[in-house]
Amino acid sequence: MALQPMRVDWVATPPPGAYPRRQLGAPPRPYTGPPAYPVPPRWGFPLLAWRWPTSVATDGAPVDSIDQAQRLARTASHALGLAGLTALWAAGSEIWRYVLLALSRYGALSATTVDISDALVNAASVVTLVAGVTGLLLTLLWLRRAREAAASAAGYGPSRSDTEVLVGVLVPGMNLVVPGSVVAELEHAALRLPADVRPVPSRLVRWWWGLWAFTWLFALFTVVWSTRSSVQAMADGVLLHAVSDLLAAAVAFLTAVLVRRITTLLLPVPADALRRMRVVDVKDAPEPALRPIRANGSPR
């Protein structure tokens, strides 16, 4: 049986006390024009702008935490994207330096070419370092807000404090294990899974965790290799630096994807449902009744 839509009639009535009470048996007052109120009405809809349903806390999570996590997610994603692009620039500079090293075997290079290559490598290193640190700080700020929103939505708090997470991310050795477990717990809470169930990282989290740990280990190997003083070791060190920059770019891009993925899980309304809230086409609709054109100056 098909359900018929319910008809709703909205009736506006004046608030109590707006007009004096009419005496019993008194004749009704004549019509004096459209309704008007002697005082500003104190009823009606609030003066608020319309917002997406994602701004409404329907599952107990505070609106401020979710909104702040969304804003920080966008900012962190842009900073991580910039860090990834600068890392690609640094990798290209290292590869160009290696090409010049290979060409120097067959003849001397001009001083201008060498100076330009050194300037590119140094500038790319500085810009990549600044962009990477900025992206890391913004990601940590997003992580703090996202953990608060996930804890409110899931109904239980994280197993580590913010200080423990910060130490686990920055201390060498611990930063190979702690970040992955923190992200796995955050994803578990964002999915509203119970606290007594062991978190099972998704494929995206596992790939990010493995790439994160491998990048740090490869960077450490590159630093140790750079201490060698032979000519071949120096040439190999240039290639190792290029690979390290490529891995750093991959980590930055994948981290941006992970941030957006977990932020989507925190939203009360799925992102797929929001895409359907748009009129694409109207078919078989009757033509609207057009208002007749009124001559200029004619009475209404």
State which of 50-59, 138-147, 194-203, 275-284 shows the largest mean pLDDT: 138-147
Of 252, 258, 265, 146, residue with least CA distance to 205: 258
Structure tokens at 102: 């290979």
pLDDT of residue 2: 47
Q: Tell me: the pLDDT tens digits for 122-164?
A: 999 999 999 999 999 999 999 999 998 888 888 888 888 889 9
Q: What is the DSSP string of 32-75?
A: -SS---SS----SS-S-----GGGS-SSS--HHHHHHHHHHHHH
Q: Can you tell me the mean pLDDT for 167-175?
A: 89
Percent of the chain as helix, strand, coil, to the nearest 5: 60, 0, 40
Question: Residue 206: its pLDDT value, please?
Answer: 94
Are the C-beta atoms of 79 and 131 separated by less than 8 Å? yes
Distance CA 231, CA 173 (A): 31
145 token code pair: 């807000």
The predicted model gives 59-81 an average pLDDT of 80
Say if residue 30's pLDDT is above 60.
yes
Least confident of 24-28, 29-33, 182-186, 227-231: 24-28
Q: What does each C-alpha distance from 208 to 69, 160, 188 come to in angstroms?
A: 20, 20, 16
- The SS3 call for residue 228 is coil
φ/ψ of 260, rounded to 5, equals -65, -35
Lowest-pLDDT choice from 44-53, 114-123, 128-137 = 44-53
Give the separation between CA 163 and CA 168, rounded to whole angstroms. 9
pLDDT at 1: 46
Measured from the Cβ of residue 245, the count of other Cβ atoms closer than 10 Å reads 25
> What pTM does this model have?
0.69
Mean pLDDT of 212-235: 88
Section 18-26 average pLDDT: 65
Q: Is 260 in contact with 77 (CB distance < 8 Å)?
A: yes
Cβ-based neighbour number of residue 189 at 10 Å: 26
| Whether residue 236 has pLDDT greater than 50 | yes
Neighbours of 163 (CB within 10 A): 8
pLDDT tens readout for residues 71-88? 899 999 999 999 999 999
Alpha-carbon span 82 to 131, nearest angstrom:
7
Q: Which residue has the higher pLDDT, 275 or 215?
A: 215
Q: Which burial class, exposed, middle or buried, applies to 298 when counting CB atoms under 10 A from its CB (0-12, 13-18, 19+)? A: exposed
